């Protein structure tokens, strides 16, 4: 049995925006990974362009730092529940976690989610109270809240004895006690070395390596990342792959990599406790075990929570199809979605027809990030309104229920409670915090679809909303999705000021003059409950009669520009979002007005 005292494997877990990625930045800087004079961007671990823009971590990432004579492998994890699949699988690679908590906000809903996963794996934790330099910070209260959280999650006595480190990741210091002086992260480094267990295992036994993460390289193909639980591995070694269903195949480890700072470094061998990346194995999947030929024994696979939301992706068939995208065919769409499944373990794919595919995911954000990524890669396609995934059992129809946490200004609380009640939400708790009100509800997942933008409007942008999957319950009955119809373009052409001026009296407009439109395209939101067909291409008839004042410049209300998420929230069941690298358009599934009316009469 070998004791790897020269290694610590840890994950950093926290709620969105509590400073995980900033903390990793500081640990990398202070461990000497970067040169003294090296110019660095903020949050170097958020490498994905969407992560940088939104300030959230989407993908779990590996890095390593050296402290004294030990290598600390760190995995930065997403804080959003929609990316829980990323959190679940990396827990298999680590022996402990840093639980990062904001010194003002305390433990938040997503903190609960990721900590629960860590405690279920029996992992040891260090609590890091971050942002203690904030004027409104209350670290002592936050520690009490963390204790309550551990108790509510049935933590063991050993897990309850967690060490505490106070820090300001932004300013680069950590300390054991609040009244201490510190200008560096050494207390945190020391706490990791003292409290996170080092890996142990039999170096002489047969190899066991569970693939917990998949990367892709266009030159070497699929790269599997995982921790060596037993034995050792060498470059070029003959091995056995055991798939999740028990199927065994002979494989060869073509390349072997370890992590050094932010880089993957090619190596010759590795042993128990090392986190490694391997390539050269076709169709390698998350959950596969790589074993020695003489001792093929699989490790427990990774259990992932089931998806709760689905959306249909289909080939774009609008009049503007193929004008803006690079990848537009059903083969392109299918290949890209299948490639996503290789690394996105919480996602599922079902083929509906040759031109349409059902994508199942953890939440609207989970799938919308995929849509945005594909759009930037040059794909053009259309997507349907998100739908929740129901279950049919002997008890009847069951639907996913979310635990909704809301923080709103006191004066907006009654409006929010009323709106959530209309969506079948049931209040569980209500607590005043200063001039804000903290509310907790149980609500059907379908009641949340399309609610976020309405919520931000009702709270004038001050409201905060988070939700976690709670479980399945009996179907709660009909929820009225949208109380307003759409403004639908009458004909194909170019929108002009005169047409838009007349249309804006009917509701909110989404486009400006000069925008190309087609028949059946949604150009705004109706002020009434039903759809209204408008002619935004209509020009003013020219006459030789001039009337005083009537020919003044038309005053147009600035159009409301919908983001991708807002578009997905807005569309009805009979509408689609057309996604291209250059545009996001809303449209009716049936573009022709006569055919649409006939279809509606048939469905009544």
> DSSP secondary structure string, 71-116?
EEEEEE---SGGGHHHHHHHGGG-SEEEEEEETTTBS-HHHHHHHH
Do 379 and 405 fall within a single domain? no
136 and 36 belong to one structural domain: yes
Is 431 or 453 the better-scoring residue by pLDDT? 431
CATH of the domain at 213: 2.40.30.10
Lowest-pLDDT range of 45-59, 461-475, 481-495: 45-59
Write the pLDDT tens digit of every residue in 172-188: 889 999 888 888 889 99
pLDDT in tens, 162-174: 999 999 888 888 9
Closest CA to 404 of 433, 385, 429, 387: 429
260 & 288 share domain: yes
Instruction: Calculate mean pLDDT across residues 217-234.
Output: 84
List C-alpha distances in Å: 67 to 4, 10, 203, 576: 15, 14, 24, 53
Q: What pLDDT score does 44 carry?
A: 41
| Within-domain flag for 300 | no
Residues 502 and 366 in one domain: no
Q: Give the helix, strand, coil percentages of the chain, each rounded to 5.
A: 25, 35, 40
d(CA 473, CA 491): 45
Tally the domains of the chain: 5
CATH number of the structural domain spanning residue 522: 2.40.50.250
Residue 311 lies in a domain: no
Of 182, 197, 212, which residue is a domain's last? Answer: 197
Has residue 306 been placed in a domain?
no
- Would you list which residues are annotated within the binding site for GTP? 17-22, 130-133
Angle ∠(452,456,457) on CA atoms, nearest 5: 115
Task: Say if residue 44 is in the same domain as residue 182.
Answer: yes
pLDDT at residue 39, rounded to an integer:
40
Residue 108 pLDDT greater than 90, yes or no: no
Residues 177 and 217 in one domain: no
122 shares a domain with 20: yes
Among residues 144, 164, 197, which one ends one of the domains?
197
Residue-number span of the structural domain to which 214 is assigned: 202-292
Q: Supply 566's token pair.
A: 């807002």
pLDDT number for residue 57: 35
Can you say how many angstroms the Cα of residue 236 is from the centroid of all Cα atoms in its chain?
Answer: 36
pLDDT at 310 over 50: yes
Residue-wise pLDDT tens digits, 9-30:
998 887 666 567 788 788 888 8
Per the model's pLDDT, the better-predicted residue between 220 and 53 turns out to be: 220
Q: Is the pLDDT of residue 88 over 50?
A: yes
Query: Which is nearest to 462 in space by CA: 410, 403, 404?
Result: 410
Give the pLDDT confidence score for residue 24 in this predicted structure.
79
- 357: CB partners within 8 A, 6+ apart: 312, 313, 314, 333, 334, 337, 349, 350, 351
Report the alpha-carbon distance of residue 513 to residue 405 in Å, rounded. 41
Which residue ranges make up the annotated binding site?
17-22, 130-133
pLDDT above 70 as % of the chain: 87
Residues 232 and 324 in one domain: no
pLDDT at site 548: 44
- Average pLDDT rounded to a whole number, residues 471-479: 88
Among 356, 388, 420, the domain boundary falls at 388
In the structure, what pLDDT confidence band is assigned to residue 424 with cuts at 50, 70 and 90? very high
309 is a domain residue: no
Rounded distance between C-alpha atoms, residue 441 and residue 463, angstroms = 15
Residues 41 and 82 occupy one common structural domain: yes
- Please state which of the ranges 134-138, 480-484, 567-571 shows the lowest mean pLDDT: 480-484
Whether residues 193 and 267 fall in one domain:
no
Q: What's the pLDDT band for 58 if we cut at 50, 70, 90?
A: very low
**Do both 62 and 165 map to the same domain?**
yes
Does 53 score more than 50 pLDDT?
no
Q: What gap in Å lies between CA 194 and CA 11, rounded to an integer?
A: 16
Regarding whether 209 and 188 lie in a shared domain, the answer is no
Q: Does a structural domain hold residue 170?
A: yes
Q: Domain for residue 297, yes or no?
A: no
Q: What is the mean pLDDT of the chain?
A: 83
Q: Is residue 299 part of a domain?
A: no
Residue 350 domain-assigned? Answer: yes
Contacts (Cβ under 8 Å, ≥6 apart) of 529: 483, 484, 485
Q: What is the CATH number of the domain that holds 16?
A: 3.40.50.300
CATH number at 400 reads: 3.30.70.240
């Amino acid at each position: 049995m070998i004791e790897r005292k020269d290694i610590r494997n840890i994950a950093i877990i926290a709620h969105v925006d509590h400073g995980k990625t900033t903390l990793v930045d500081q640990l990398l800087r202070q461990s000497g990974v970067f040169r003294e004079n090296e110019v660095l961007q903020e949050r170097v671990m958020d490498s994905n362009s969407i992560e940088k823009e939104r300030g959230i971590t989407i993908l779990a990432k590996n890095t390593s730092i050296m402290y004294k004579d030990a290598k600390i492998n760190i995995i930065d994890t997403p804080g959003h529940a929609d990316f829980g699949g990323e959190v679940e699988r990396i827990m298999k690679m680590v022996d402990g976690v840093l639980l990062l908590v904001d010194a003002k906000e305390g433990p938040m809903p997503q903190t609960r989610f990721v900590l629960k996963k860590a405690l279920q794996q029996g992992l040891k934790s260090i609590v890091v109270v971050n942002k203690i330099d904030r004027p409104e910070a209350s670290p002592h209260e936050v520690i009490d809240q963390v204790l309550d959280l551990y108790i509510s999650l049935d933590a063991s006595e050993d897990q309850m004895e967690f060490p505490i480190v106070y820090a300001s990741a932004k300013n680069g210091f950590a300390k054991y006690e609040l009244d201490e002086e510190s200008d560096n992260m050494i207390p945190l480094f020391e706490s990791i070395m003292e409290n996170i267990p080092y890996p142990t295992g039999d170096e002489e036994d047969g190899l066991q390596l569970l693939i917990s993460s998949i990367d892709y390289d266009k030159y070497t193909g699929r790269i599997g990342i995982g921790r060596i639980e037993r034995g050792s591995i060498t470059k070029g070694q003959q091995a056995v792959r055991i798939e999740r269903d028990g199927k065994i195949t002979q494989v060869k480890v073509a390349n072997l990599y370890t992590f050094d700072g932010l880089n993957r470094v090619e190596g010759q061998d590795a042993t128990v406790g090392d986190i490694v990346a391997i390539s050269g194995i076709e169709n390698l999947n998350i959950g596969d075990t790589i074993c020695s030929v003489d001792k093929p024994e699989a490790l427990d696979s990774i259990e992932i929570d089931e998806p709760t939301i689905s959306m249909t992706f289909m080939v774009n068939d609008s009049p503007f199809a193929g004008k803006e995208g690079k990848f537009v065919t059903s083969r392109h769409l299918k290949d890209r979605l299948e490639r996503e499944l290789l690394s996105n373990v919480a996602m599922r794919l079902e083929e509906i027809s040759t031109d349409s595919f059902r994508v199942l995911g953890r939440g609207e954000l989970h799938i919308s990030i995929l849509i945005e990524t594909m759009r930037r890669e040059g794909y053009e396609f259309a997507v349907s309104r998100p739908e929740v995934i129901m279950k049919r059992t002997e008890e009847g129809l069951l639907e996913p229920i979310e635990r909704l946490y809301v923080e709103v200004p006191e004066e907006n609380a009654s409006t929010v409670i009323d709106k959530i009640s209309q969506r079948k939400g049931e209040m569980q708790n209500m607590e005043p915090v200063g001039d804000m009100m903290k509310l907790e509800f149980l609500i059907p997942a379908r009641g949340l679809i399309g609610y976020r933008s309405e919520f931000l409007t009702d709270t004038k942008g001050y409201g905060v909303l988070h939700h976690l999957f709670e479980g399945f319950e009996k179907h709660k009955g009909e929820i009225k999705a949208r109380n307003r119809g759409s403004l639908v373009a009458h004909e194909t052409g170019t929108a002009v000021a005169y047409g838009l001026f007349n249309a804006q009296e009917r509701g909110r407009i989404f486009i400006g003059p000069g925008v190309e439109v087609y028949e059946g395209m949604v150009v705004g939101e109706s002020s009434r409950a039903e759809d209204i067909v408008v002619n935004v291409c209509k020009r003013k008839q020219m006459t030789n009669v001039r009337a005083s004042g009537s020919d003044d410049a038309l005053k147009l209300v600035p159009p409301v520009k919908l983001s991708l998420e807002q578009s997905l929230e807005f569309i009805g069941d009979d509408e689609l979002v057309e996604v291209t690298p250059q545009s996001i358009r809303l449209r009716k599934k049936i573009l022709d007005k006569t055919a649409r009316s006939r279809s509606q009469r048939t469905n009544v």
